[in-house]
């Protein structure tokens, strides 16, 4: 846990004073998760895809089967998905992971494992303690809540997502707090330094 005195060092600096203070107070209460503050629709530009958006119907193929109906959680940085302002020498993609219904996941585990073990596992997920999984609290689009796996990532060309229909396909967006939790979870999964892993250089460092 980050000491309370150090929390300001880890918070984004672009927030308004009100949003900054609200996020700081919510982070101070961790591990109590402020799930009632996880989502927001304020300040959402209709034609912009935001990191942490839930977009309906992004196509992906898994085990040879094409899926075009899933609710998908966007992982790419917001500015990397822009197609009008950023001129690049390469095509940019939208990284995303499918959202899995929490109740369906629970049922699949109960069919194979002991109830007590499953209950403990699900409780850890809801406390955001499973490093590979992020829990998404229930809302009108995911009434049972949902989970996303950081190791089940797909991509589509950013230009293939029509911005003119984005408002119809965007189901929800994260709040400052939800986005902060996502960044912490994702960076911990992908970038944490593994304990007791020695990686000496094969040649002397210059």
Taken in order of first residue, the domains within the chain and their CATH numbers are 1-30 (no CATH), 31-190 (2.30.30.110)
What integer pLDDT is reported at residue 139 of this predicted model?
95
The model's confidence at residue 91, banded by pLDDT at 50, 70 and 90, is confident
**Encoded tokens for 36:** 């009632």
Instruction: Please tell me which residue, 37 or 111, carries the higher pLDDT value.
Output: 111
Alpha carbon 139 to chain centroid distance?
15
Q: Alpha carbon of 134 to those of 112, 123, 206: distances in Å?
A: 22, 12, 41
**Encoded tokens for 4:** 């309370």
Return the residue matching tokens 């999964």.
189
What contacts 23, CB < 8 A, 6 or more positions away? Answer: 11, 12, 15, 176, 177, 180
Q: Alpha carbon of 59 to those of 53, 104, 115, 194: distances in Å?
A: 15, 21, 34, 34
pTM: 0.82
């Amino acid at each position: 846990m980050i000491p309370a005195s150090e929390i300001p060092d880890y918070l984004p600096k672009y927030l308004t004073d009100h949003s900054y203070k609200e996020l700081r107070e919510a982070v101070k209460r961790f591990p109590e998760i402020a799930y009632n503050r996880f989502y927001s629709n304020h300040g959402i530009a209709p034609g912009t895809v935001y990191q942490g958006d839930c977009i309906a119907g992004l196509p992906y193929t898994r085990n040879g089967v094409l899926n075009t109906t899933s609710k998908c959680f966007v992982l790419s940085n917001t500015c990397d998905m822009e197609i009008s302002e950023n001129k690049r020498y390469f095509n940019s993609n939208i990284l995303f992971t499918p959202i899995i219904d929490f109740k369906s996941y629970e049922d699949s585990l109960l069919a194979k494992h002991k109830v007590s073990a499953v209950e403990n596992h699900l409780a850890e997920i809801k406390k955001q303690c499973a490093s590979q999984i992020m829990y998404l609290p229930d809302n009108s689009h995911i009434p049972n809540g949902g989970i996303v796996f950081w190791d089940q990532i797909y991509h589509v060309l950013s230009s293939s997502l029509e911005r003119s229909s984005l408002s119809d396909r965007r189901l929800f967006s994260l709040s400052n707090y939800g986005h902060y939790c996502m960044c912490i979870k994702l960076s911990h999964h992908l970038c944490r330094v593994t304990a007791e892993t020695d990686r000496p250089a094969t040649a002397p460092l210059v």
